[in-house]
Amino acid sequence: MSEDSSDLPVGFIVSDDDGDESVGLDDDDDFDEGDVKESRKRASPKKADEAKSPKKSKKTPATEGKKTAVKKPKEKAAPKKELTESEGYDVILKYLNEQNKPFNAQTIFDNLHKEVKKPYVVRILSKLAQEGKIIEKEYGKSKVYFADQNQFPSVSDQELKEMDNEINALTAESSSLQEELTRLRNEVKELSSSLTDEDLEKGIATMTEETKQMKERVEKLKGSETIDPKELESLRTEVTRVQKIWRQRRNQCREMVGNLAEGMDKKDSEVNVSSFLFSEE
């Protein structure tokens, strides 16, 4: 190394005569190796960009072949076609003539299943009444419409009477049939809740066997020796007398055991006495 190298600033690169390069550092200079290690740990810009960019998912052959099923929306029912006012004119007139009974605007609107708009119904009825094709009657705030009766053939009083008689006869027949229907329904209900033929046969066989066993038992009892009623009454009296004496003696024994237990500071059950003295009836 040359002699003038000592005058160079610290850290300046100098060349030896052999051509080797060295860095001039004083022994007293602080050199932090952590700075060098930290610089080595820093990722290159290319690697940092790769880390930030999201990874693309690879499709496997199994997933590539599958397709997501698309549900078809349910087809809605086609809405009913609403009639125009001119079309509703003929429909309402025909309806009133066929039914031949009074209606209001709301009832006609409902009975036609709303095929004609409510405002059209009101205007058409008013127009038909003004033209004399139907009859309009006002009852307070309500208006009732019905077919013009002049367009129908006239009926004599005799024919009306015959119709009334026919109506009465049909009404009576309908009432009779309704009663018959009710009776038959009740009969069917009763038969449905009753036993079947097989169940009845099984029940008859069971009751026959029970009756046979009872008869055999009665015959055995008839053949056995009977007891004199007076003797039976005497035995019952004796049993009653003996039971009374037994109860008295049992109570006396219990009282004695109770006195013993009280003197011994024990319970009655702790006194060593035969258990039959404390048995219940």
**In whole angstroms, what is the distance from residue 6 CA to residue 256 CA?**
131
**In whole angstroms, what is the distance from residue 245 CA to residue 280 CA?**
16
What residues contact residue 278 under an 8 Å CB cut-off, 6+ apart? 254, 257, 268, 269
Q: Which residue is it, tokens 């006002």? A: 138
Q: Answer for the pair 261, 268: CB distance below 8 angstroms, yes or no.
A: yes
- Distance between start and end Cα atoms, the chain: 132
Cα dist. 170→157, 167, 173, 175 in Å? 20, 5, 5, 9
Average pLDDT per consecutive 10 residues, the chain (281 residues; last block may be shorter)? 43 42 42 44 47 50 50 62 88 93 93 91 94 92 91 87 94 95 93 86 93 90 78 92 94 86 80 56 49
Q: What pLDDT does residue 123 have?
A: 94
Q: Answer for the pair 91, 83: CB distance below 8 angstroms, yes or no.
A: yes
**In whole angstroms, what is the distance from residue 6 CA to residue 24 CA?**
9
Give phi and psi for 211, each to the nearest 5.
-65, -40
Rounded (5°) CA angle 40-46-50: 110
Q: What pLDDT does residue 197 have?
A: 86
The pairs formed by 143-149 with CB atoms below 8 angstroms and a separation of 24 or more are 143/104, 143/105, 144/102, 144/103, 144/104, 145/96, 145/102, 145/103, 145/104, 145/105, 145/108, 146/96, 146/100, 146/101, 146/102, 146/103, 147/96, 147/97, 147/99, 147/100
DSSP string, 107-165: HHHHHTTT-S-HHHHHHHHHHHHHHTSEEEEEETTEEEEEE-GGGSPP--HHHHHHHHH
**In whole angstroms, what is the distance from residue 55 CA to residue 62 CA?**
20
